[in-house]
Structure 1
Amino acid sequence: MGDKQTPRKLFDGFINAAVSIIDSPVTWFRERVVTPNRESYPWYHQKFRRVPTIDECYTDDVICFYEANSQFKRDKAVDSEILAILRIRMEDCNMFHGPDAVAKCKSLVETYKEAEGNWFCKYGDLGFHGNVKDAYMKQKHRMVWERRHGPVGSGMRDAAAAAGDE
């Protein structure tokens, strides 16, 4: 009985030695180089400070305008990625459930439609070269429209109803 276990122990010892020869340098490098420096790398999930928005900038402050525009572009990129992830989740749910997707994916579809509407409300019709000033003017014009005619998409109120509200 002892004779049968001896080759097995030798084989296990050889495998453990081979694994430790390959694994030891990798483990050393990770523990001594990667992990201590990970916190100091600025490109690991870089967090930018929030800057003043365009409505808080003076009209002649070019630096403030540049910072607000950079913040706007970062926010647009993040919102676009969130929308893309929601779209992929909705499409995957529809593909997985097939004919039952209408009922089973209803919450995902509603979430995506709401996010899509919010994204278009903020960034839609600005084009590729739209900047923070264009978005601010779009928001201002939308608010004026809603004050005069009610929520966008509800139809225009007639002049008598608008006069009666004021």
Structure 2
Amino acid sequence: MPDQEPPRNLFFSILDTITYAIEAPVVWVREKIVEPNQKVYPWYHQKFRRVPTIDECYTDDPVCYFEANEQYRRDRLVDDEIVQILRQRYEHCMMYEAPDHMEKCKGLYETYKEAATNWFIKYGDLGGYHDVTRAYMKQKHRLIWERRHGPVGSGVRVDEQK
């Protein structure tokens, strides 16, 4: 180990020799075998493959249910961050453009409002402990409601207003 100072006495010399005898093979394996065979990714986070959604899983396939639930959790975390970033951008714009923020930050506000609405459509009113099955059922019930009554929040369907 050339980068260290020489040992002070015989005991430290023996200790350095034993340490080097144990450490050298480990370092050699790491540098010569492990690191050349690793894939180097240009991004800083792990990239997961997309898995089948809950509607593509068989009823007796718990592994598929688990994978779909984990994919749902990852997607929800991403959507949460998107809404949070849009809210922060709007708030910063409001602070910077203080007297004229209603005109100058209108585009950011509309984008944030649309993202928050979409988030609530997908994840809202599910409670604190929910999974992909409850979110899928919410989506199914909303589609049935829209088929029977028109878009949510529009009142009565157009053909029933006669």
Identity of aligned residues (%): 63
In the alignment, the residues of structure 1 paired with residue 113 and residue 86 of structure 2 have an alpha-carbon distance, to the nearest angstrom, of 9
Higher helix share: 1
Aligned to 2:71: 71
Aligned to 2:81: 81
- Matched residue type, 1:79: D
1:95 paired to 2:98: no
In the alignment, the residues of structure 2 paired with residue 121 and residue 156 of structure 1 have an alpha-carbon distance, to the nearest angstrom, of 20
Aligned length: 127
In the alignment, the residues of structure 1 paired with residue 95 and residue 71 of structure 2 have an alpha-carbon distance, to the nearest angstrom, of 36
Deviation at 1:59, TM superposition (A): 0.9
Aligned to 2:119: 119
Deviation at 1:127, TM superposition (A): 1.6
Unaligned runs of 5+ in 1: 1-32
- Matched residue type, 1:100: D
Deviation at 1:40, TM superposition (A): 3.9
In the alignment, the residues of structure 2 paired with residue 44 and residue 92 of structure 1 have an alpha-carbon distance, to the nearest angstrom, of 27
1:128 paired to 2:89: no
In the alignment, the residues of structure 1 paired with residue 146 and residue 160 of structure 2 have an alpha-carbon distance, to the nearest angstrom, of 14
Deviation at 1:45, TM superposition (A): 1.3
1:152 paired to 2:152: yes
Task: Give the TM-score normalised by the residue count of structure 1.
Answer: 0.70
Deviation string, structure 1 residues 22-57 (Cα, Å, up to 9, x no partner): xxxxxxxxxxx9xx889547x931100000000000
Deviation at 1:88, TM superposition (A): 0.2
In the alignment, the residues of structure 2 paired with residue 39 and residue 99 of structure 1 have an alpha-carbon distance, to the nearest angstrom, of 52
SS in 2 for 1:98: coil
Aligned to 1:51: 51
- Matched residue type, 2:149: H
Structure 1 stretches of 4+ with a deviation exceeding 2 A read 36-41
RMSD: 2.4
Deviation at 1:81, TM superposition (A): 0.5
Task: Give the TM-score normalised by the residue count of structure 2.
Answer: 0.72
Deviation at 1:64, TM superposition (A): 0.3
In the alignment, the residues of structure 2 paired with residue 105 and residue 44 of structure 1 have an alpha-carbon distance, to the nearest angstrom, of 32
SS in 1 for 2:98: helix
